Structures are given as structure tokens and as C-alpha cells.
């Protein structure tokens, strides 16, 4: 079986959502970045000019460059978010061709927010999970219902919601 006896990769936990970004530089940088941060980085490093619009309906480029981590892997300076956001598509149909429009509503998906230390998961039914990677890197102890972690959970949820609005 897979992580937490879940067979499929379509899950919100570390082993399924983590995609290593390996850049060979002296030192080690350990800051969560998203795949959306990859494109702005070579654009910045190569000093490319122009826009990213396919047509007038397009939107500005999203993501944040990671140049500062390449220059100084130990830097804490980062213009981007405190963590990486992941969505897990949640549909209720057994057949993909029966999917309805409401299945694609962002509020109907499962959301994951991963910072250096924490993983916060909010399912579309309101259930939550919270893991402390400093003390539980395998995500075995869900802290979401522990009273002493409520402030952390609220803070992470707020950061996650702010990223979703962008």
C-alpha cells in the first residue's frame, strides 16, 4: 500500500505532492516553491523581454523568481509566499465523462498548503489536517484538532486563502 494505506498518488500528503527542485549550487536551500515559480526564474536569469500573453484575454505571468536562492542558498529573503499551494481535484463521479460543472469549482476541491515546517490540508467537506514536519516528517500525527495548534492552523488557512484569491 502507499502512504497511509492509500494506494493512489492522488492524495494531499508529502510523498504525493512534493516535487523536488534540484539546482546544483553550493549549500542547501530549503524553501517551498511551487512549479509556477519555475518559468519566471529563467526569464529573470536570461533577462528575457516581452510578455506572456497569447492574446488579449491572457493574464500576467504568475509565480516568483528564485534567483535569490541560487545566489545565496541560505537566504531567508523571498518575495514569494510563505509556502507552496497544491490543489487536489475532487470529483464525485465514478466516470470522468459524467463530470458536472460544479466539480470544477475551486471551492469544491481539496487544498494543501506546505511551508518549511507545516503541512495544512483543507478538504472540500471542511475536514482539516495539520502536520509539523520538524517533529513528524512522515505526517503520522494529525494536529488539526489539538487546541494548542489552533492559532497555527488559522494562520496557515488564512495564508492559503490569500494565495487562492490571487
3-state helix, strand, coil in the chain (%, to 5): 30, 10, 60
pLDDT on residue 130: 97
Cell numbers of 63, please?
509565480
Contact predicate 128/122, CB 8 Å: yes
Cβ neighbourhood burial of 135 (10 Å; 0-12, 13-18, 19+): exposed
pLDDT on residue 8: 54
- Model confidence at 120, pLDDT cuts 50, 70, 90, reads very high
Nearest to 108 by CA among 96, 126, 132, 95: 126
pLDDT on residue 156: 97
- Pick the more confident residue, 84 or 101: 84
* Rounded mean pLDDT, 139-157: 96
Percent of the chain having pLDDT more than 70?
Answer: 72
Cell numbers of 80, please?
514569494
pLDDT on residue 51: 72
DSSP 3-state of 130: strand
Dihedral over alpha carbons 157, 107, 38, 83 (to 10 degrees)? 10
Domain residue extents for the chain:
3-165
Q: For 39-76, what is each residue's pLDDT tens digit?
A: 888 888 888 887 767 778 777 777 888 888 777 777 77
- Pick the more confident residue, 6 or 48: 48
* CATH architecture of residue range(s) 3-165: 2-Layer Sandwich (3.30)
CA 18 – CA 34 distance, rounded (Å): 10
φ/ψ of 114, rounded to 5, equals -120, 120
Cβ neighbourhood burial of 130 (10 Å; 0-12, 13-18, 19+): buried
- Model confidence at 103, pLDDT cuts 50, 70, 90, reads low
pLDDT on residue 166: 63
Amino acid at each position: 500500500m502507499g502512504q497511509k494505506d492509500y494506494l493512489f498518488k492522488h492524495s494531499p500528503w508529502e510523498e504525493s505532492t512534493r516535487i523536488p527542485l534540484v539546482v546544483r549550487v553550493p549549500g542547501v536551500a530549503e524553501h517551498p516553491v511551487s512549479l509556477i515559480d519555475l518559468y519566471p526564474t529563467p526569464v529573470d536569469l536570461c533577462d528575457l523581454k516581452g510578455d506572456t500573453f497569447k492574446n488579449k484575454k491572457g493574464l500576467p505571468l504568475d509565480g516568483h523568481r528564485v534567483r535569490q536562492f541560487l545566489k545565496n542558498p541560505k537566504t531567508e529573503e523571498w518575495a514569494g509566499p510563505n509556502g507552496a499551494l497544491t490543489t487536489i481535484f475532487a470529483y464525485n463521479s465514478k466516470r470522468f465523462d459524467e463530470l458536472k460543472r460544479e466539480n470544477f469549482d475551486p471551492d469544491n476541491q481539496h487544498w494543501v498548503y506546505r511551508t518549511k515546517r507545516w503541512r495544512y490540508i483543507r478538504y472540500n467537506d471542511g475536514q482539516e489536517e495539520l502536520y509539523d514536519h520538524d517533529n513528524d516528517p512522515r505526517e503520522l500525527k494529525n494536529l488539526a484538532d489539538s487546541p494548542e495548534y489552533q492559532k497555527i492552523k488559522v494562520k496557515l488557512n488564512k495564508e492559503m486563502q490569500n494565495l487562492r484569491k490571487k
